[in-house]
Chains A and B, each alone.
Chain A
Amino acid sequence: MAVTEPGSEELAARLEADRQAGLLRFVTCGSVDDGKSTLIGCLLYEAGLLFEDQQRALESDSRRIGTQGERLDYALLLDGLAAEREQGITIDVAHRYFQTDRRKFIVADSPGHEQYTRNMVTGASNSDCAVLLLDARKGALTQTRRHAYIVSLLGVRHVAVAINKLDLVGYSESRFRELETECRDFADQVGLPGVTCIPVAAIHGDNVVVRSTRTPWYDGPTLLEYLETVEIDEDRLQAAPLRLPVQWVNRPDHSFRGFAGMVVSGTVAAGDRVVALPSRRESTVARVVAYEGDLDRAMTGQSVTVTLSDEIDISRGEVIADVASPPGVADQFEATLVWMAEEPLLRGRNYLMRVGTTTVGATVAPLKYRIDVHSLKRIAADKLELNEIGVGELELDRPIPFDSYSSNRDTGGFVLIDRITSQTVGAGMLNFELHRSHSVQWQAIDVDKASHVRLKGHRPCVLWMTGLSGAGKSTIANLVERKLYSLGCHTYLLDGDNVRHGLNKDLGFTDADRVENIRRIAEVAKLMVDAGLIVITSFISPFRSERRTARELLEDDEFIEVFVDAPLKVAEARDPKNLYAKARRGEIANFTGIDSPYEPPESPEVHIETTTTTAEIAAEQLMSELRRRNVLDPE
């Protein structure tokens, strides 16, 4: 198309405007049936942003399965999954895209039902702004308050409250003012700074795009005007010190070593002094490399590759930062947590924690309290159930660079991942570091593990017996220890019942206590291995996750998982301590195999089937495993 053709000047101008349009990401939330999908559908329709075929599909769907009689059912535009269309509810976050000449918008339309709160958190985590809906007849319900609270927790600074279905209260100003006051009070309580209330009837389009003639008493912005003008929190981050979490080390050949990642705050240019954390190596930026040629300066939000003037070794997970104001480095934090899995968050269980581009092990110990989102009261808790929010202390297995979440989402937000299922089970925000760890330092000791081992004449290890009560763990453990003792080995048998008389007598049998029980045993076993002993543990240890934690505390060769396998029927028939009978009668709660689960090992080092193996043969089997591993003969 030549420049002289009609319309081309207009086109170039439009392209230029499009090119310069900013981007606003916002989330819509509120209780079920408050009409979120309808509101967004209306926004797209009224603003003339639907394609013709979409509009036709909407009209025919409205007639066929719509719930609005003769009127268009805007919600059908957004409820995309078949299950949602059948049930008339929103299950998952739907992303919508539209633009006006001022801005491009990405809308995360999130579900209202309580069981999908985690999806709402997902939608809010990347949003600059939130549109919270409430039904003018009902006011703020529990779920509305929960969403307002989550929005505030996730650091969304701008919130519009669309007070919807105003047609059903006769466009009453007094009702609107009443709800406006209620919202402001609640916003103050949860710490939401900027709240704008807008009177809306999405089904008729009042004050969505076009100013309504039915609310002459309202002189604030329409919803679209609000979205087009609300400030974006970008300038604050641009002005902050540099943070560049390294995603990928780019080494195409020996002459080039670049560190690739996104600038998540500040800017970066050649000549800038930087420090990589947690390694604390300092250098100067040599180049900011890009496909279209080196950049003078890269800004917050750009994906870049930088080279440094010194040959220093930096790997994925480190943060390249402004040397003058680097982030903190710590391994203990207070954090706010949102739980997202059916299986509860357990104090003491070890999870994988992803923060920025790094992954570390993390344990919640202790959980301080959970928050009742309705009253905002703090309630003592030792676990968090699905969709619950709480505050706890996090212990990491190594230090990480961080900023508080309130100053930077990218270096202060994290997810927790279950080690066994690999699912993302929780999300959290780092509040501040705890200084406990700095006052308790590891004491260097002259007589180390190697010295202990030399004196003992054998290598230390842990024989970790796991299996149902009555499977035969203690019997086999006892035989093995006698055999080792007769060979002159230094051993110790940690037995479940015995430990619960002393070290762990404060613990019961809930899932949370079982996790803590095994954590302590694992730590004690580790100390004994340090002392050079062959340790035999005899605990049901029902959860894979804790057995894995125990394994990870020790060196690769030192942990021998022994699955003492007896079917529940067999173990129950043996019932040496009469416990199954009591559990069946309901006298003991949380009994493994009866009303508490046992997760069998997936790949134990030794698998003993006690229905076909005698205790003596099993003990010999373990002895030969120890010989095979050169435990008894270290040379």
Chain B
Amino acid sequence: MALRQESPESRWVSASGAQAVAPPLADAETNGAGSARRLTHLQRLEAESIYIMREVAAQAENAVMLYSIGKDSSVMLRLALKAFYPGTPPFPFMHIDTTWKFREMYQFRERMAREHGLDMIVHINQEGLRRGINPFTHGSAVHTDVMKTESLKQALDKYAFDAAFGGARRDEERSRAKERVFSFRSAQHRWDPKNQRPELWRLYNARKRKGESIRVFPLSNWTELDVWQYIYLEQIPIVPLYFAKERPIVERDGALIMVDDDRMPLEPGEKPRMRKVRFRTLGCYPLTGAVESDADTLEAIVSEMVQARTSERQGRVIDHDQDASMEKKKQEGYF
């Protein structure tokens, strides 16, 4: 970010005192140079997300928080705990399990559910499982469609959830940049991008027609860097895969794929090599590319992020399938 260095009044140059311990986020008294006390941008984002969660709790009949185990879900979980403290979140959590997540993700999911006493629903598309759908034989498009998109629709119908929280951010992808915080889906779970409800001020209208449901994105206005800074400042637990470590890697079509278990068929002559990598985003292990990195602490990750030159979705194989692919997937019911 060249701009930072060019600016003559760059504040970070004059700030002093490196701290090993993260400064508290909610320290409104001490920030700002002037006499007026102001909220920092992270405090404003946090307050907005909590507000959105409470609106859903108050307006929806049967809400659920989609829990994907990734860093955004970790932040959502923390915000939900804050929003309803000292009570617990008045809705269950749900993981749409494709059965191809990293093993460390499953361990982490169980740990979080146990530590916070969460009502954690795990849904697997049994039909897809029976047909043996997997990313190797059927390709990423079919696998994602059956085990993720279809599976999600099944689960929402099965439990009759009328509002589902998702961790998507508008900075992730172009069509998401245009999506409302409260995003309506038809009874067939389709998104109509040309006919979105006006969303003014903090007035979220969650009334819906029969059969309609809502996807709610409390992190809409967060950027990837905001998420990491928040994790750092709040010391939020995340899956260890985000930290750099020696891992068994094969290189396919330029993506670094971790061989997480023996279900992964190796090409003739292909041999996993140990490389120091980490993941910027987590999904199904055969579809998630790692990046080479030495960042093995939160501070180092944030530091890497500050200098990042590549946006995070590049590691995801499914987004590159076709032009406007995310918009199309969303219209079909992908979160």
Contact = CB atoms under 8 A, between A and B. Distances in A.
Nearest to B55: A247
Given A101-B3, A256-B86, A262-B47, A95 B170 contact: yes
Nearest to B2: A48
A106 B41 CA distance: 10
A562 B129 CA distance: 52
A331 to B, nearest CB: 19
Contacts of B302: 11, 15
A283 interface: no
Interface in B1-59: 1-4, 7, 9-13, 15-20, 23-26, 28-29, 31-32, 36-48, 50-51, 54-55, 57-58
A260 B83 contact: yes
A53 interface: yes
Contacts of A299: 28, 37, 39
Given A47-B3, A247-B54, A260-B83, A19 B309 contact: no
Interface of B: 1-4, 7, 9-13, 15-20, 23-26, 28-29, 31-32, 36-48, 50-51, 54-55, 57-58, 81-88, 170-171, 173-178, 193-194, 196-203, 205, 207-209, 220-221, 223, 225, 229, 232-233, 297, 299-300, 302-303, 306, 308-311, 314, 323-324, 327-328
Nearest to B30: A20
Contacts of B24: 292
29 contacts: A11-B299, A13-B16, A16-B23, A19-B23, A19-B42, A22-B32, A47-B2, A53-B311, A79-B174, A80-B173, A80-B176, A82-B324, A82-B327, A83-B194, A91-B193, A94-B174, A94-B178, A97-B171, A99-B225, A101-B11, A102-B11, A247-B55, A248-B54, A256-B87, A289-B85, A299-B28, A301-B39, A413-B200, A422-B208
B306 A11 contact: yes
A325 interface: no
Contacts, number: 257
Contact of A413 (B31, B45, B201): B201
A466 interface: no
B15 A16 contact: yes
A235 B81 CA distance: 30
Best-surrounded residue of A7, A97, A209, A427 (most CB of chain B within 10 A): A97
Given A11-B303, A409-B201, A235 B31 contact: no
A240 B274 CA distance: 60
A289 to B, nearest CB: 7
A252 to B, nearest CB: 3
Contacts of B327: 80-82
A442 interface: no
A414 B204 CA distance: 11
B40 A119 contact: no
Contact of A415 (B58, B81, B200, B324): B200
Given A49-B3, A97-B170, A291-B85, A421 B12 contact: no
Nearest to A256: B86
Contacts of B11: 17, 20, 101-102
Contacts of A94: 174, 177-178
Contact of A51 (B173, B203, B310, B324): B310
Contacts of A410: 201-202
Interface stretch (A120-128, A477-485, A541-549, A568-576): A120-128
B205 A415 contact: yes
B85 A290 contact: yes
A93 B196 CA distance: 10
A232 B194 CA distance: 32
B171 A13 contact: no
A238 B3 contact: no
Contact of A301 (B10, B44, B58, B328): B44
A462 interface: no
Nearest to A249: B58
A183 B46 CA distance: 38
Contact of A247 (B31, B51, B207): B51
A295 interface: yes
Interface in A224-265: 232, 234-235, 238, 247-248, 250-252, 256, 258, 260-262
A97 B178 contact: no
Interface centre among B42, B43, B202, B220 (most CB of A within 10 A): B202
B19 A12 contact: yes
Interface string A9-33: 1111111111111110000000000
Given A22-B41, A301-B43, A424 B306 contact: no
A250 B177 contact: no
A1 B303 contact: yes
B229 A303 contact: no
Given A11-B306, A126-B200, 14 more contacts: A13-B18, A15-B302, A53-B314, A92-B178, A101-B11, A101-B12, A104-B41, A118-B198, A122-B198, A122-B199, A234-B36, A251-B87, A357-B58, A415-B198
A20 B40 contact: yes
A602 B170 CA distance: 39
A5 to B, nearest CB: 9
A289 B83 CA distance: 11
Interface string A404-418: 000001100111010
A335 to B, nearest CB: 14
Nearest to B207: A422
Interface string A342-358: 00000000001011010
A417 B208 CA distance: 11
Given A95-B221, A97-B170, A102 B7 contact: yes
A100 B4 CA distance: 6
Given A1-B299, A301-B39, A51 B308 contact: yes
A23 B208 CA distance: 33
Contact of A15 (B39, B207, B229): B229
A19 B177 contact: no
Contact of B26 (A11, A260, A292, A423): A292
B17 A12 contact: yes
**From B176, B193, B308, residue with most partner A Cβ within 10 Å:** B193
B200 A122 contact: yes
Contacts of B83: 260, 303
B324 A85 contact: yes
B221 A424 contact: no
B326 to A, nearest CB: 9
A457 to B, nearest CB: 41
A417 B200 CA distance: 12
Nearest to A302: B47
Contacts of B232: 15
B3 A48 contact: yes
B198 A121 contact: yes
A8 interface: yes
A574 to B, nearest CB: 34
Contacts of B299: 1, 8, 11-12
Contact of B36 (A9, A10, A81, A235): A235
A126 B199 CA distance: 10
B3 A100 contact: yes
Nearest to A255: B86
A596 to B, nearest CB: 24
B198 A340 contact: yes
A627 B66 CA distance: 51
Contacts of B29: 296
A635 interface: no
A426 to B, nearest CB: 9
Nearest to A236: B36
B50 A303 contact: yes
A51 B88 CA distance: 39
Given A247-B54, A291-B82, A417-B207, A53 B47 contact: no
A613 interface: no
A336 interface: no
B221 A97 contact: yes
Contacts of B81: 291
A557 to B, nearest CB: 24
Contacts of B44: 23, 301
A101 B1 CA distance: 10
